[in-house]
Amino acid sequence: MVCDYSFIELTRGSLFFGQRSITQKGQDMSYIEIPVIQRAEEESRYLWVRNVGTVVTCDDDDRILHGVDLYAENGVIKYIGPRAGEIIDRKRNEASERGERFGPTDIIDGRGMILYPGLINTHHHLYQIFSRNLPQVQRMELFPWLKTLYEIWKNLDGNVVYYSTLAGAGELLKTGCTTCLDHHYVFPEGHHNDLLDAQFAAADDLGIRFYATRGSMDLSVKDGGLPPDSVVQTVEEILADSEEAILKYHDPARFSMHRVALAPCSPFSVSRRLLAESAELARKHGVRLHTHLCETKDEEKYMLEKEGIRPLEYMKQVGWVGEDVWFAHGIWFNDEELDFLAQTGTGIAHCPVSNMKLSSGVARVPEMLRRGVPVGLAVDGSASNDGSSLLEEMRAAYLLHRLHTGYDAPSGYEILKMATRQSARLLGRDDIGAIAEEMAADFFMIDAGKLSLVGAQSDPAALLATVGYKGDVEYTVVNGRIVVEHGKLRNIDEEAAARRAGEIVRDYLSLE
């Protein structure tokens, strides 16, 4: 590996991440240097994981395999079984006969390891990384919490978004997450899709599979909403920016690394018109829809007072139900509404830690699963979590529902599938979330021989939720590339990035 420097130059008119130029409107900013480990792009990529102790596949047959190899080409799993080295030898010989070079091949020794499908995060606010653990909001619930933090978030810029994405998505990778959906909805005056550009740049530098949303708000305090005037846009501006984001970044192809959904923030910060026209635009382009819904009793009260109906009925009226829609939180649905979600295939991103921290309530996940409601897992924003680890989220979900519903709670393995197969379903993907041939080579591996796991290996499928896994994973692989190796991010200099991010945090918070 050769360590090179990717430069971020923030000047009036342009923002450069490495060789990527990003429009930046009217901002005087500084010059920043970050170390990014550069690797030459090869036409073909091969990965061989040898002698894996245990593979928890989460496939259609819920197989658990022992002592197998995994072989992937160009980011796709091609073989799971014994003696993958024979396949590699044959391909090398065939290439040699044609006068071609075979490789390079990454090789991982899987002895003593447990290999799992990559975890999939279905709801996040990565920009909030830089406003977590603030003493002034630690005892607040959602509405006052939001109003306080908007006074910080109104100062977002490309640097804050790039480095917060680098930090948050980096933590996700180090804890086994391979696909991240981020709900970015704060666009201060003068910023449009340059903030999404910054997110995709950070995601690409890390190597994570990234699903951005073009979020939005058009109701400020003067309109009866919560955010200040400086972070809302007109409906016309939002729709134009939304279509631009789709056309620029959304790749619907199988195994794509970039996708986009449309995500107006919440019923109490957007207008009926924005919701309805966003739904029309999303379906015109075949992209998905996402927002917060039924997170708190305050939201329910707001909707009853303002619209005279419950939140889900409101969303039905504006066309926001169906298999292409998923809501974050979904705590305060009644029985009839749960049945409707199941009938329509409308999904829920379950955020147990955030729900507990903000005293929002306990989502009725066991009942959702019994009814057939699609339920994925999410860490939510880092200011309401205050972290980015789906491993922690899995154990919190398991314990929370054991406490609340006892025997009817999801099993440890059901929680794992919620974080993999079911999360993939929420994002409309059938190419990630399981270990099987012709699926994406997205997975992570843990060392089963750690002292903290002694005596805990009787049920590897349940282990991550029932026992929990502390610390960073040994390996994370995304799209057939090793992005975490022995617990360290492989594509960036972690220490240098952390130092620079810390400097930006201090400057950012001093603007309040």
Q: Where are the beta strands (DSSP E) in 245-374?
A: 258-264, 289-293, 325-329, 347-350
Structure tokens given for 57: 């596949």
pTM summary value? 0.92
Euclidean distance between CA atoms 409 and 387, whole angstroms: 24
Q: What are the two backbone dihedrals, phi and then psi, of residue 67, each rounded to the nearest 5 degrees?
A: 65, 40
Euclidean distance between CA atoms 91 and 27, whole angstroms: 53
Structure tokens given for 177: 């997450």
Structure tokens given for 298: 């305050």
Euclidean distance between CA atoms 123 and 497, whole angstroms: 24
Euclidean distance between CA atoms 329 and 384, whole angstroms: 12
CB–CB of 37/491 below 8 Å? yes
Structure tokens given for 253: 């192809």
Euclidean distance between CA atoms 102 and 71, whole angstroms: 14
296 C-beta neighbours (distance < 10 Å), count: 21
The region, left, alpha or beta by phi > 0 then psi within -120 to 50, assigned to residue 14 is beta
Question: Domains of the chain, with CATH numbers?
Answer: 46-117+441-489 (2.30.40.10)
Alpha carbon separation from 497 to 77, 126, 502 (Å, rounded) = 32, 16, 8
CB–CB of 150/227 below 8 Å? yes
Which residues make Cβ contacts (< 8 Å) with residue 471, sequence separation at least 6? 487
Alpha carbon separation from 277 to 213, 289, 366, 441 (Å, rounded) = 16, 12, 34, 37
Euclidean distance between CA atoms 385 and 383, whole angstroms: 6
Omega before residue 298 within 30° of 0, cis:
no
Helix (H, G, I), strand (E, B) or coil at 310: coil
448 C-beta neighbours (distance < 10 Å), count: 18
Euclidean distance between CA atoms 16 and 349, whole angstroms: 34
Q: What are the two backbone dihedrals, phi and then psi, of residue 117, each rounded to the nearest 5 degrees?
A: -60, 150
Per-residue pLDDT of the chain (512 residues; tens, 9 = 90+): 333 323 333 332 233 333 333 333 334 333 345 557 655 455 578 999 999 999 999 999 999 999 999 999 999 999 999 999 898 889 889 989 998 888 767 999 999 999 999 999 999 999 999 999 999 988 898 888 888 999 999 999 999 999 999 999 999 999 999 999 999 999 999 888 899 999 999 999 999 999 999 999 999 988 887 888 999 999 999 999 999 999 999 999 999 999 999 999 999 899 999 999 999 999 999 999 999 999 999 999 999 999 999 999 999 999 999 999 999 999 999 999 999 999 999 999 999 999 999 999 999 999 999 999 999 999 998 778 888 999 999 999 999 999 999 999 999 999 999 999 999 999 999 999 999 999 999 999 999 999 999 999 999 999 999 999 999 999 999 999 999 999 999 999 999 999 999 999 999 998 65
Helix (H, G, I), strand (E, B) or coil at 66: strand
Euclidean distance between CA atoms 378 and 334, whole angstroms: 22
In sequence order, which ranges of 216-265 are alpha helices (DSSP H)?
235-249
Euclidean distance between CA atoms 260 and 282, whole angstroms: 10
CB–CB of 397/465 below 8 Å? yes
Q: Where are the beta strands (DSSP E) in 232-302?
A: 258-264, 289-293
